[in-house]
Structure 1
C-alpha cells in the first residue's frame, strides 16, 4: 500500500512541476499591469503551496518505505528519491525567484503611480484607495472536514465574482486542489463551459449533505476519552472539537433535536467518572426530578410544582456549560498555583535583617583611621 501511495504522489509531483514550468514560461510574456501582476502572484503562491504539500506527503511515504528497502536496491531507490527531491527543489526555487521579481515590479509600479498624484488628490482618495489585505485560500486535499471551510472561502473569493471568466475560475480552482480532490477534476479542460461541470462534480463528491453529516457524526463518535478531570488540555480539546462538529451540523441545517440526546451520552462516556458524578448531581435526570416533585407534594400539598423536564437540546447545553465551567475552574486553579509558586520562590530568595546579620561577615574597623586593629569606641 505504501509503494502504491508513493507512486501516486510521485506522479502528482511530476504533474505539478511540469505545469509550474510551463506556467513560468508562459507568464513571462504577460503584461506588467497591476491586475496581471496580482493574478500571476496568486497563481505562483498556489503552485508553491501545492508543491510543498505534495512534497511533504511524499517524504512521509518515503519514511514509511525506507525500512523495507532491500540492500541490493538501496542505491537505486535513494537515487530516485533524491531525483524527485531535486526536481521539486528546483521548481520551487524558480517559483520563488519569479515571485520575488514580480513583487518588486509591483512595488515599482505602485511607487511610480503614487508619485504622479498631487497632494490634494491623495488627500481626497486616502480612504477610497486603501487596499485591503488579500484573502489567502488554502488548498483542498479531499478530506471531508476540509470541504465546508474551503468552499465557503472559495465561493466568496472566486465563485461568486462576476468579473472573472469561467476559465479564470477553473484555473483558480485547479490550483487550490491537491491529492484526491485534484484527481476528481483532472479530466476536465480549463474552459468556460467545463467550470460549472467541475464544480458540480466536486459538490456531488464532497458537498453531499448526507456524506458530510455521516462524516461529522463519525468524528463525534470517535471522541477521545479523558482519564483525569485535572487534564485541562484534553478537556479543552474535547470541548473545542464538540463545538466545531456541532457548528458543522448547524451549517448543514441539521436540527439539534436529531443528535442532542445521543451526543450527550457520548460526551458523558468521554468524561472521567468523578466528573460524570458531579454533572448528575448538578443536573439530575427527569426521573429524579419527578421523584423530588412527588416528595415536595407530599410534604406540602398546597404548594404547586412546576415541570423541570428538559429537551435534548437543553441537556446538551447543560453538559457543554458544565465542561466549560470545569475548564475555567481548572485554569483559574493553575493560575493560582503559579502565583503561589512564584511567591514562594521570591520569599526563599529574600533574606531578613536578622539573617543578614547572622550570615554576613562584616569586617570590623575604626571609622576614623580605617584601621582594623581596633574598634571605633576604643
Structure 2
C-alpha cells in the first residue's frame, strides 16, 4: 500500500466517524412522534456535505487501489454510501410529508377552508409495477416512473438511481447492473434503458408481434378465450399512443382476427358489416 493510499484511507475513516453523529441525530429525530423539521434540515445539510467529501475521497482511493483489490474496496464503501443515501431519502420524504400536512393558520373564509380540505385529502399510495424487460410494457412503466420519480425535484440523481434499480428485475436489472450510484451513471443508465427497451421502432414491433401471435378461439361458448382475445385492444391502444393508428394496418389485421375467432361469430360479423367499406379494427373490436 502506497503512503498516499494509506493517508486517504485514514482520512476516509475520520470522515466516516464524523458522519456518524448527524446520522444518529437524524435517526433519533425521525423516530419521534413529531419530528422537528428544522433540525432535520440542519442535519441533512451536514450529512450532504459529509457525503460529498466521502465521494471525493472514495474516488481518489479507487484510482490508487490495485485492480485485484478494487472490487472488494468498492463493496466496502458502497454499503456505507447506501446507508447515507437511505437516511437522506427517508428524511426528505418525512420533511415533505410534514410540510404537506402542516395546518394553514389564517382567517380564511369557509370556502377557503373547504378548498384546503380538498387539497389535503389523503390519496391512495402510488404503486409502480416493477419492469422486467418486456418491451411491450416499457411505455406503461416509464410513464409512471417518470411522473412519480424521474421528474421529482426533491430527489437527487443518486437517490433517483436507487429507486430506479429497485423497480428493475430480469433483463432490465441486468442491463444496468454494472453502474455505480453516481449522477452521470444515472443519466447513462436511463439512456441505455431507453435505447434497449424504449426505442419506438422496437416497441411498435413488440406490439405488432403480440397482435400476430394471438391464440385462436375454437368455440363461441369459450368466453374466457374470447375475453383473452379481446385484450388485443391493449396493443392497439398502445400503438395509437405511439402515433400508429389502426387505419394504417386495419386491412391486414382484420382478416387475421377473423381467422382467430369461431366461424359462427366471424360469419355474423361479415353479415352485419358493410362489405363495400374497408374493414376497420375498432368496429371489429366493438363487435366482439
Superposition TM-score tier, normalisation by shorter sequence: 0.5 to 0.7
| 1:186 lines up with 2:177 in the alignment | yes
Tell me the equivalent position of 2:222. 231
- Larger-Rg structure: 1
Change (3 A) 1:34 1:133: farther
The CA deviation string for residues 129-155 of structure 1, in whole angstroms up to 9 with x for no partner, is 443333121211111122111101001
- Provide Cα deviations, 1:76-106, integer angstroms capped at 9, x if missing partner: xxxxxxxxxxxxxxxxxxxxxxxxxx9xxx8
Structure 1 range deviating more: 134-143 or 263-272:
134-143
Partner of 2:49: none
* Residue 282 (structure 1) shift: 1.4
Cα distance, 1:320 vs. partner?
1.7
Provide the rounded CA distance (Å) in 1 between the counterparts of 2:273 and 2:240.
Answer: 25
Corresponding residue for residue 279 of structure 1:
269
Tell me, in whole angstroms, the C-alpha distance in 2 between the residues paired with 1:275 and 1:319.
11
Superposed, which structure 2 residues align to 1:304-319 within 5 Å?
Answer: 310-312=277-279, 315-319=280-284
Match of 1:99 in 2: none
Report Cα offsets for 1:174-225 as digits up to 9, x if no partner: 1111121111111212112221111111000000111111111111111111
| Unpaired runs of at least 5, structure 1 | 1-27, 37-101, 287-309, 324-378
Q: TM-score, normalised on structure 2?
A: 0.60
What's the secondary structure of 1:224's corresponding residue? coil
Q: Which residue of 1 aligns with 2:143?
A: 152
Partner of 1:251: 241
2:241 and 2:221 map into 1 onto residues whose CA distance is 33
**CA distances 1:250-295 after superposition (whole Å, capped 9, x unpaired):** 1111122222111101110111112222112112523xxxxxxxxx
Q: 2:200 aligns with which of 209, 231, 235?
A: 209
CA distance in 2, matches of 1:226, 1:190: 49
Structure 2 CA distance, aligned partners of 1:176 and 1:226? 36
In structure 2, C-alpha distance between the alignment counterparts of 1:117 and 1:246, rounded to whole Å = 47
CA RMSD of aligned residues (A): 3.1
Give the Cα separation in 2 of the matches to 1:212 and 1:177. 18
Task: State the Cα distance separating 1:34 from its structure 2 match.
Answer: 9.1
Unaligned stretches of 5+ in structure 2? 1-22, 41-89
Aligned residues: 197
Partner of 1:322: 287
Q: State the SS of the aligned residue for 1:168.
A: helix
Structure 1 pair 186–319 and aligned structure 2 pair: CA distance change class (3 A): same
